[in-house]
Amino acid sequence: MFQKNELTVGRYLFNCLNSEGVSEIFGVPGDYNFTLLDNLEKDERINFVNCRNELNAGYATDAYARIKGLGVMITTFGVGELNACNAIAGSYSECIPVIHIVGAPKTMLQMEHRKMHHTLMNGDYSVYENIYKNITEYTAVITKDNAQIEIPIAIQKAKEMKKPVYLVIAIDVVDQPVTKREANLPKPQTNKNSLQLALNNIKQVINQAQKPILLPDIMVSRYNLQAVVENLADKMDIPVATMMTGKGSFNESHKNYIGLYAGRWGSLEVKDFVESCDCILAIGPIWSDYNTGSFSAQLNPVNIIEIQHNYVKVGMSVYENVLMEDLLNELVKVVDKKSFPIPNMKMIYTENGASNGNDQISSVYYYPKLQKFIKEDDIVIVESGSLPLGMAQVKLPKNVTYISQYNWGSIGYATPATFGACIAAKNRRVVLFTGDGSIQLTAQELSSMIYNGCKPIIFLINNKYYTIEAYLNTPKTTEYNNIPVWDFEKLIEAFGGNAYTARVNTNAELDEAIRQIEIQGKDKMCFVEVNADKMDVPGIVHNVHTMIEEMEKQKLN
């Protein structure tokens, strides 16, 4: 018999998570995780947040981690964890620190290779962990003897690498007393010699530059370094642009911000300026198709100073073991005060005063309206499809947390992510922009929001079509991009929602819906369905479409 006050594996696990600031854990109950959830239910510090399925739980955990720095989910063995695979892979691609805890069958049953439910009936209990090794930074099977080593290591890996980790705990292990162990957790350190060499080179390049630009990207927000990057921009008085995945990594209301750089996808004015710069200070970039406009970006590698998580590249010279935070903090100290001309770029979205209120609603009208609607400190969540392209060019106010899956791009992500954001930041306004096709994949989590008293503001662009797929698949005409029509107001009602709902067909109706949100949004969920033409998209999608057409013509020639 175990003593009542003994430190068990379950208690130790939740102690560790609580010390990291985790106050909620998402998941779905299953018979192999009952002891985990029993322990969690007794823990007054951490609440279990029940989701409608494991995929949605993973998406919610991902958004929670983006806001609070670490997210945790619990699923059951096999069916539960495999349901969450897509979400965990997304967290890996998007560099999000998520801890996925799996409750597994009893240890003896595993050792005897029993054919238990939720297994493949082949007696192999390692198969799911082997799958997860490909989409996580670290995996471990927790026992009472290794808990005090493996759990701290997994947490540290998630935090340092900004990647998901995976822990399996058998149902009988949870209540076993831990064996006292001392974990050796060496933290990565900056090599001072490499740091100094990198600083000297960077300073020399900047001093020689006639036309430099600052290009912060995804890792700035992942490592929470927005403040030091803004300090650098202030000291150098240098133009700043962001790429797609870097949306939210820099204060877009800053006087030096010139807009989105996305190769030929975005503003050609911004493109021409960035590509004419003789020094590009790129902080945490990913040179992906989204960030480079299908690799249409024309940046000279010799002119790029690339600052990554643990190395720096100045032109062709590489300096290893230099942590981004250390480099930036030192660079702000040593860089000379300068002042470079800031180009006056045209805003992409401006309100059209000549628009008729009775006109059919379109992106030409609603993007400027939504840009004006977003406030300081909002959490803005954007679904995959045409929306992240259009929203990338919205100029955000100060301190907005911007969440979108530019790298992974799994449709359906944003609705459960909105739930996770509401749980993570109960006192902030959460605004979701989604589409009719995407929400049909994960609409169940609207029920979770209503059940938990969440009050997000949801704009659903309903064009009754997979519009982005149609543009990407040009010039083919297909049937498979058609989708069924849902009555969303009745859906909200069926989920038990005390919500403000509106269907918007004209410009004037959108104006009225926004006015009502300002009145009713403090007390209830707001759900606005914007009915647009099925091929209505922002200008940036037309740019993408034009590039695809040109590429198709080149193939034929």
Quote the number of domains for the chain: 3
| Interval 112-123 mean pLDDT | 97
**pTM confidence score:** 0.96
Residue written as tokens 């996770």?
Answer: 420
Query: What pLDDT is attached to residue 381?
Result: 98
Q: Would you say residue 177 lies in a domain?
A: no
How confident is the model at residue 354, as a pLDDT?
Answer: 55
User: Is the domain of 370 the same as that of 494?
Assistant: yes
Alpha helices of 267-413 — where are they, by DSSP H?
268-275, 289-292, 324-334, 363-373, 387-391
Together in a domain, 123 and 211: no
Q: Is there a domain that residue 391 lies in?
A: yes
pLDDT bin (cut points 50, 70, 90) of residue 16 is very high
Amino acid at 112: E
Q: Degrees (nearest 5) of the Cα angle 223, 227, 233? A: 115
pLDDT of 2 strictly over 70 = no
Percent of the chain with pLDDT over 70: 97
- CATH number for 212: 3.40.50.1220
Range of the domain at 512: 363-545
Give yes or no: residues 401 and 520 share one domain: yes
Q: Is 294 exposed, middle or buried (0-12, 13-18, 19+ CB in 10 A)?
A: middle
Query: Is residue 97 within 8 Å of 68, Cβ to Cβ?
Result: no
Answer yes or no: do 229 and 275 share one domain.
Answer: yes
Choose among 100, 98, 102: nearest CA to 161: 98
Residue 552 in any domain: the answer is no
Domain boundary among 287, 319, 334: 334
Lowest-pLDDT choice from 178-182, 351-355, 461-465, 550-554: 351-355
Within a 13 Å sphere around the CA of 454, how many CA atoms are in the beta-carbon half?
A: 28
The verdict on 389 and 326 lying in the same domain is no
- Choose between 471 and 504: higher pLDDT: 504
* In contact, 294 and 541? CB cutoff 8 Å: no
The whole-number pLDDT of residue 535 equals 85
Please give the full DSSP string across 430-456, using - where no structure is assigned. EEEEEEHHHHHHHTHHHHHHHHTT---
The answer to the question of residue 184 being in a domain is: no
Question: What tokens does 444 get?
Answer: 């169940």
Q: What is the CATH number of the domain that holds 134?
A: 3.40.50.970
8 Å CB contact between 536 and 363:
yes
pLDDT, mean of residues 79-101: 98
> Does the residue 453 lie in any domain?
yes
Go through the chain and tell me how many residues it has.
Answer: 557
pLDDT tier, 472 (very low <50, low <70, confident <90, very high otherwise): confident
Q: So what's the pLDDT on residue 467? A: 81
Q: Please tell me whether residues 421 and 486 are part of one structural domain.
A: yes
More confident: 482 or 351 = 482
Among 300, 314, 290, residue whose Cα is nearest residue 242: 290
Q: Assess whether pLDDT exceeds 80 at residue 549.
A: no
Q: Is residue 526 part of a domain?
A: yes
Radius of gyration for the chain, computed over Cα atoms and rounded to the nearest angstrom: 25
Q: Residue 150: pLDDT above 90? A: yes
Please tell me the least confidently modeled range out of 236-250, 340-354, 450-464, 465-479.
465-479
Are both 160 and 260 inside the same structural domain?
Answer: no
Mean pLDDT of 381-405: 96
With bands split at pLDDT 50, 70 and 90, how would you rate the model's confidence at 476? low
- The CA-based angle 508-403-362, given to 5 degrees, is 25
* Amino acid 1: pLDDT: 36
Q: Is 320 helix (H, G, I), strand (E, B) or coil?
A: strand
> How far apart (Å, rounded) are the C-alpha atoms in residues 97 and 73?
11
Per the CB < 8 A criterion, the answer to whether 417 and 442 are in contact is no
What mean pLDDT do residues 154-162 have? 97
pLDDT tens, 488-545? 999 999 999 889 999 999 999 999 999 999 999 999 999 999 999 888 888 898 888 8
Report CA 93 to chain centroid distance, whole Å. Answer: 10
Q: Residue 557's pLDDT band (boundaries 50, 70, 90)?
A: low
Would you list the DSSP string of 257-270?
Answer: EEEE-BTBTS-HHH
Name the pLDDT band for 471 (thresholds 50, 70, 90).
confident
Nearest to 63 by CA among 75, 51, 72, 50: 72
**Do the strands 457-462 and 500-504 form a parallel or antiparallel pair, or are they unpaired?**
unpaired
My answer on whether 155 and 200 are in the same domain is no
- Report how far residue 203's alpha carbon sits from residue 462's, in angstroms, rounded to the nearest whole number: 51
The domain boundary residue, chosen from 317, 334, 351: 334
Residue 32 CB contacts under 8 Å (≥ 6 apart), including other chains: 76, 77, 102, 103, 104, 105, 118, 171
Q: 165 and 250: one domain?
A: no
Q: What digits encode the pLDDT tens for the residues 362-374?
A: 999 999 999 999 9
Specify whether the CB–CB gap between 308 and 219 falls below 8 A.
yes
Task: Name the percent of the chain in helix, strand, coil, to the closest 5.
Answer: 40, 20, 40
- C-beta of residue 142 within 8 angstroms of C-beta of residue 168: yes
Name the percent of the chain lying above pLDDT 90: 86
Q: What is the mean pLDDT of residues 15-28?
A: 98
So what's the pLDDT on residue 553?
A: 74
> Around Cβ 542, how many Cβ atoms within 10 Å?
12
User: Within a domain: residue 196?
Assistant: yes
pLDDT at residue 4, rounded to an integer: 56
Q: Is residue 307 helix, strand or coil?
A: strand
Among 32-46, 174-188, 436-450, 466-480, the range scoring the smallest mean pLDDT is 466-480
- 34-47 tens-digit pLDDT: 999 999 999 999 99
Tell me the average pLDDT across 357-366: 92
Q: Which two tokens stand for residue 538?
A: 């922002």
**Shared-domain flag, residues 396 and 310:** no
Decide if 350 is inside a domain.
Answer: no
- Could you give phi then psi for residue 152, rounded to 5 degrees? -60, -35
Structure tokens at 552: 């198709």
* Mean pLDDT of all residues in 459-476: 81
Q: Does 433 share its domain with 537?
A: yes
Q: Structure tokens of 225?
A: 């370094």
